[in-house]
Amino acid sequence: MSGQAPLVNIRNLVKHFGPVAAVDDVSLQVGEGEFLTFLGSSGSGKTTTLFIVAGFEDPTGGDVEIDGRSVLSVKPNERNIGMVFQRYTLFPHMTVAQNVGFPLMVRRRPKAEIDKAVKDMLDLVQLGAYAGRKPSELSGGQQQRVALARALVYKPRILLMDEPLAALDKRLREDIQQEIRRIHRELGVTILYVTHDQEEALRMSDRIAVFSHGKIAQIGSGADLYERPADAFVAGFIGNSNFLQGSVVQSQQDQVAVRLDDGTVIRGNTRHPIATNARVRLMIRPERLTLTPSNDQHDQSLDVTLSDTTYLGDMLQHEVVTAWQQRITVRTNDHAAAASGNALKLHFASTDVMVFEDSSRATA
Amino acid sequence: MLLNLNRMGPGRYVLYAIGVLTALFLLLPVVFIAALSFGSSQWLQFPPPGWTLKWYAAIFNDPRWMDSIWTSVKVAFTVMVLSIVLGLPAAFALVRGKFPGRTVLHAFFISPMIVPVIILAIALYAFVLKFGLNGTFIAFVAAHLIIALPFSVICIVNSLEGFDESTEKAAIVCGATKAEAIFRVTLPAIRLGIFSAALFSFLASWDEVVLGIFMASPILQTLPVKMWTTLRQDLTPVIASVSTLLIALTIVIMIITAFLRRRYAR
């Protein structure tokens, strides 16, 4: 993306529904061929942003540019954008082939060209044998694949997907995720994908924009969001996380020492400088914690009591409780640690501890 | 299943009996009238002393009966077309519209079903008289349209509510204009509702008698009105024949409907 002009440029987008700001000053750029996911809970503004790009909603403010030109005055049917919806939107009275051919039919393309393109697209989504079926004779997963073929048959440069897999069960969802990834690679189409499923976002996207209350909380690769979350909200939203409360006793650029409520001092990292004595939240991923027997003397550790262990197949998940009765989740494949008794020591590597200033947006 | 016939023991025969009696109650008058229409007795004697087709011949040879049938067909067909032409946009407004008073308007469209027909008839009669339209084709159509429209609006509103607007949006994203999307996608998708609306509108006009009596003139009568006036003069088996023809027509329409539904409901 660097140097090259973005294909889609969303600038300071605002959308009010009455007094509510559904989209509140969203700006982002999408590069040609990129797979960008809008991740957020319902009401976070992700779908509204997508619908503004599609042309079904008019923004209250801001602009959407495609190829450097504002598209706000372009009708949705003239934007030449593909879209797959959350609900099944195949035309019920048409066959699969007629559905896929519809965009070309309304473009008045010759029949031979339509037939060829329909066949190619159905082969791409591996439904060539279903051309003559009616949508009601297909499963949900097949219907969404036909919808995908229909959205791609006119070779749009941008494909919008609004939670296309939300109605499918987990196994099927993973199959179709793979298929969408494959098609993205094969066609090089730019995809804007909306989901509330962080696993789906991590699995599929080049970059993820995390939406919260109409704003983008953070935009970056999956690894960025997981390893270097911008705030406690993103940290809590992406992956599993443990939060501890404390106040800063020492602060030096991105290194801070935090005193927990029982007096233990833990060192960690921060993205923004934090003043001494500020109330903060410490975040640490369950798989980055280690447990040892309690007689082990060590820095950066807490005395905890083991309350529960769950066998997850590839890992063990321990629930431990601190002296002040806060539960912390630990994931490990070290089967020995917990065998030594209920009184344990919980260790924090300072590089794995993220420190965030306490804010009202934070969630546990 | 909550009610399992095999597990009910002798109690199920009670159910059978109720089922058969209900069917008889509904069907016997129809069977009775059909039998009478082929009976040779001029006094509607039952069981008929002999069999004949002369009452049917009487209908087809009497221009007054044929005129009234033709009037009924013309009125019902016009009502059917207008009922769709008016009901379809009304249904779109009621389902898709975002304006205050939408639910009130919806109730208003349904209200002719609730107002007693006789009150409608008197009001319409006064209205039509004022404009000198009594006894005209227009008056018949206007009167029947009032009772047909609620059926049309209800049928189309129901099917439109069952149609996901995202599907229309999908057609638009695909490159179709709004009008193309509606004509190529939405209307075909809700055609069963439109078809039902047309059918109910036709039948609402076809068997309407109260409004018809008020709108009729000696020279312009619908079939039910002609039947009514004939009955008041004398009780002839011709009435039974006309009734039987009407019943036959209804059965044919029901069979066609069932056939089309099975074919398109997929």
- At A361, is the pLDDT very low, low, confident or very high (cuts 50, 70, 90)? very low
Read off the pLDDT of residues B51-83 as tens digits, 9 standing for 90 and up: 999 999 999 999 999 999 999 999 999 999 999
Task: In whole angstroms, give the CA distance from residue B185 to residue B176.
Answer: 10
Sign of the CA dihedral running A146, A147, A148, A153: positive
Q: Which domains does chain A have, with CATH numbers?
A: 8-233 (3.40.50.300), 241-357 (2.40.50.140)
pLDDT at residue A364, rounded to an integer: 38
- At A338, is the pLDDT very low, low, confident or very high (cuts 50, 70, 90)? low
Search chain B and give the residue with CA nearest A137. Answer: B266
Residue linked to tokens 């009452």: B55
Shortest CB distance from B176 goes to which of A77, A83, A89?
Answer: A77
Three-state DSSP state, A218: strand
Is a pLDDT exceeding 90 seen at residue B170? yes
Read off the pLDDT of residues B177-204 as tens digits, 9 standing for 90 and up: 999 999 999 999 999 999 999 999 999 9
Is a pLDDT exceeding 60 seen at residue B9? yes
Instruction: Confirm or reject contact between B164 and chain A (CB < 8 A).
Output: yes
pLDDT at residue B265, rounded to an integer: 62
CB B175 to CB A106 under 8 A? yes
DSSP conformation letters of B165-189: HHHHHHHHHTT--HHHHIIIIIHHH
Is a pLDDT exceeding 50 seen at residue B241? yes
Mean pLDDT of chain A: 89
pLDDT at residue A333, rounded to an integer: 82
Shortest CB distance from B171 goes to which of A54, A81, A91?
Answer: A91
Give A216-224's long-range contacts (Cβ < 8 A, gap of 24+).
Answer: A216/A26, A216/A27, A216/A28, A217/A361, A219/A28
Search chain A and give the residue with CA nearest B178. Answer: A77
CB B167 to CB A89 under 8 A? yes
Is a pLDDT exceeding 70 seen at residue A135? yes
- At B161, is the pLDDT very low, low, confident or very high (cuts 50, 70, 90)? very high
Chain B residues in contact with A86 by the CB 8 A cut-off are 166
Read off the pLDDT of residues A23-44 as tens digits, 9 standing for 90 and up: 999 999 999 999 999 999 988 9
Lowest mean pLDDT among A118-132, A326-340, B117-131: A326-340
Residue linked to tokens 């066998």: A311
Interface predicted TM-score of the whole assembly (ipTM), two decimals: 0.82
pLDDT at residue A339, rounded to an integer: 67
Q: Tell me which residue of B190, A216, A272 sits closest to B182, measured CA to CA.
A: B190
Q: Which of B96, B163, B173, B183 to mutate to test the interface with A (most CBs of A within 10 A)?
A: B173
pLDDT at residue B254, rounded to an integer: 85
Read off the pLDDT of residues A45-98 as tens digits, 9 standing for 90 and up: 999 999 999 999 999 999 999 999 999 999 999 999 999 999 999 999 999 999
Chain A residues in contact with B178 by the CB 8 A cut-off are 77
pLDDT at residue A157, rounded to an integer: 92
What percentage of chain A reaches a pLDDT higher than 90? 59
Task: In whole angstroms, give the CA distance from residue B166 to residue B10.
Answer: 53
pLDDT at residue B149, rounded to an integer: 96
CB B191 to CB A93 under 8 A? yes
Q: In angstroms, what separates the C-alpha of B175 from chain A's closest C-alpha? A: 4
Pairing of strands A207-212, A35-39: parallel
Average pLDDT over residues B31-38: 90
Is a pLDDT exceeding 60 seen at residue B41? yes
pLDDT at residue B3, rounded to an integer: 66
For residue B125, report the phi and psi dihedrals to the nearest 5 degrees.
Answer: -60, -45
